[in-house]
Structure 1
Amino acid sequence: MRRTFLTVTGLVVQLVLIVGLILKFSNITDFELPQNDQKTVSFSQGGNELEGTLIMASTDGPVVLLVHGDGAQDRWSDSGYLPLVNTLLDAGISVFSWDKPGVGASTGNWLHQSMQDRADETLAAVAALRQVSGFEQRRIGLVGFSQAGWVLPRASAQTDDVSFLVIMGGAINWQAQGRYYAAIRLEQEGKTPTEIVVELTRQAAAHRVWFGGDTTYEEYIGAERAIGQSEDRILSEDRFHFARLNFREDARRNIAGLTLPVLVLSGAEDLNTDPQETVSVYRSLLDGVHPLSQFHIVPVATHALLSANRYNYQLPDQWPLATQARFVLSGRNAFEGDVLETLTDWIANVSKGAS
């Protein structure tokens, strides 16, 4: 009995030591934020009452507003933003982010928004930030993810109060992005190239009817069920009207009007948006416009600029438990290569007005 007790005790001690070493050498603290430097900022836009958090990293450095991608995201995207946020704070860059309409402390429904609505909301956030003591004259930048690629160029065309833009995993054309996403998904499901072409052609024709026309949601549901579409692939009514609101979005015209510095970061292994199209469009429209603009395809990086060797899934809810645990322990090290250093160095360079 005593030997058994000692054996169990030894195993417990070893387990505690292993856990302690993992925590000591992990970046789990990247998911903790400095509480004493936070300020709640509220503002109104489009009939919605919105709330966010400003974290102050310095007394006079730049500040970035985080503009969400698709989905029901709270201000820190269910903690997923925190390694990035802490990296920005460590570089002396203050951060402001808010809950999307209908999420967290914000009222409304984000699925009722067009990209123009989202741009107006972003500008209202900029105006609210200007009312905070100490931020009246600071350089403000917009950092946007995925769907924000349609929001940021549109918002910056309406103000002179934004100093720079960062597009991470952005797309150019709504319909082209949908085709790219669907093609990747079909390929992962094991469809042949011929089957993929047939299905994409069917989808394109159907989408022109449902989202480019004036048919009803009930007609859409009936037609999808008639072809045997699974219920999990049929859009909710809110998502259906959201797609209709934004079906014709294309960022080219707004990109072409940009004169401020722009940093584009697209992952080479992006499964959601076409990195080649995004970077080539920005280069063709903005090359030579501002000397500080940069357009990068990051090798071995995902849609979110994480390491594609470990985190390459189309949706976060596809991550296995082991991948989630790895992300929590890795923190900022989950990002591919020196992408975060590229980001913070570029913001610091732009904020100093360096050439």
Structure 2
Amino acid sequence: MTLKKRKRVVASFLSLIAAAAVLVGVTLVGNSYRFDQRDVTITGPDGALEAVLTVPPQGAARGLVVMVHGDGPVEATQDGLYSPWFEAAADAGYATLSWSKPGVEGSEGDWLTQSMDDRAREVSTAIDWAQAQGDIPTGTIVLWGASQAGWVLPKVVRDREDIDGVVALGTAINWLDQGRFNLLAELDHDGADTQERQRAIAESDQTRTLLERGASYDEYLATSASADPMTEARWAFVQRNFGSDATADLAAAAARPVPVHLMVGTHDRNVDVAQTEETYRSIFGPSLTVTRVDGAHSLARPVMEDNDLVGLLTGTVWPRALLAPDTVDDYRAFLTHVAPPA
């Protein structure tokens, strides 16, 4: 190798090192947040729940946000994706309590055996646990809930008198309506032709019929044409909860003048957020505020959900950029204005 070529190789190598150093530096900055976090263990109704408590890095917190997850095996930090929410709460002077669902990470139990009433009881037990601790600020309590939490949040507010605010993200009203909306929205998004639509709707109708008459998993499996059928545990979970409708619980929750903040993504394909907003407005009236963001169901920028590679890279390097513009600012502003109890 000539000296000139060797110099080019060395220069290229040094450029790669420099680029890698910049990437590492950006990633470190992008994953540096303004909150302190510690692991805690909640005594839940069905065993210990592995949890995290985040607090402002300086000064005492003035309240507590209790996070209520959506569907699926969610870990306490949503694999780090909750960090922007933790940070916004800390900036507003709030601690945040979040736990891994039963059966996830070190939490005992199995979330797939839960009804929505079970989930509400779990949230209430976690609040009781927090109130029994000497170092967790529970003078003001705000519930934060996403998606499936829409069937949980109003039950907790209905049954307790110490909830001071609710933040609902992309919550649905009726389980079966939500499922049908999601099916049709995904078919539209995928550009399905008439035959594909008819086949998918027929499959959905058949599943609903089986659920309504309490069919066994074996019967479901024998009649399903799905390439990815539900597991037996998932079938049992859906059977337990498919009749969920939040309307009555929302009305009961509205008996208390608790401020409710609904945040929805204008590109949500999972939930008919227009129906949710209409229902919430009719029930909560002036107690409700609504923010619509240019986001998907999770309030992430649509590209993050539609392009796995973009979502992965952004989530790794700069997680704050996952969410639609102004999302966390709006959340922080709501928390700042939640009035402390009289």
Q: TM-score, normalised by structure 1?
A: 0.87
Q: Using the alignment, how far apart are the partners of 1:136 and 1:322 within structure 2?
A: 38
Q: Does the residue aligned with 1:287 lie in a helix, a strand or coil?
A: helix
Contact map agreement 1:31 1:79 (CA 8 A) in 2? no
By how many angstroms is 1:6 displaced? 1.8
Contact map agreement 1:140 1:163 (CA 8 A) in 2? yes
- Aligned-pair identity (%): 27
Q: Using the alignment, how far apart are the partners of 1:222 and 1:33 within structure 2?
A: 52
Q: 1:31 to 1:220 in 2, by over 3 A?
A: farther
By how many angstroms is 1:180 displaced? 1.2
Q: Paired residue for 2:151?
A: 150
Q: Paired residue for 2:298?
A: 304
Q: Paired residue for 2:167?
A: 166
Q: Using the alignment, how far apart are the partners of 1:248 and 1:326 within structure 2?
A: 37
- Name which of 221, 226, 229 aligns with 1:229: 226
The code of the aligned residue for 2:265 comes to: G
Q: Paired residue for 1:280?
A: 278
Q: Paired residue for 2:234?
A: 239
Q: Using the alignment, how far apart are the partners of 1:24 and 1:30 within structure 2?
A: 10
Q: Using the alignment, how far apart are the partners of 1:311 and 1:39 within structure 2?
A: 29
Q: Does the residue aligned with 1:221 lie in a helix, a strand or coil?
A: helix
The code of the aligned residue for 2:245 comes to: D
Q: Using the alignment, how far apart are the partners of 2:189 and 2:64 within structure 1?
A: 40
Which one is further off, 54-63 or 147-156?
A: 54-63
Runs (5+) with no aligned partner, structure 2:
none
Once the two structures are superposed, residues 199-237 of structure 1 have per-residue CA deviations (whole angstroms, 9 ceiling, x without a partner) of: 325523x2332222222111111111xxx432x2x1101
The code of the aligned residue for 1:15 comes to: L
Task: Trace 1:150-229 onto structure 2 (pairs within 5 A).
Answer: 150-192=151-193, 195-196=196-197, 199-204=200-205, 206-224=206-224, 228-229=225-226
Q: Paired residue for 1:264?
A: 262
Q: Using the alignment, how far apart are the partners of 1:30 and 1:86 within structure 2?
A: 11
Q: Using the alignment, how far apart are the partners of 1:266 and 1:200 within structure 2?
A: 26
By how many angstroms is 1:194 displaced? 6.7
Once the two structures are superposed, residues 287-332 of structure 1 have per-residue CA deviations (whole angstroms, 9 ceiling, x without a partner) of: 12x2xx302222x211111112x2134xxxxx52343112322321
Runs (5+) with no aligned partner, structure 1:
314-318
Q: 1:158 to 1:170 in 2, by over 3 A?
A: same
Q: 1:210 to 1:32 in 2, by over 3 A?
A: farther
Q: 1:17 to 1:111 in 2, by over 3 A?
A: same
The CA RMSD over aligned residues, in Å, is: 2.3
**Number of equivalenced pairs:** 336
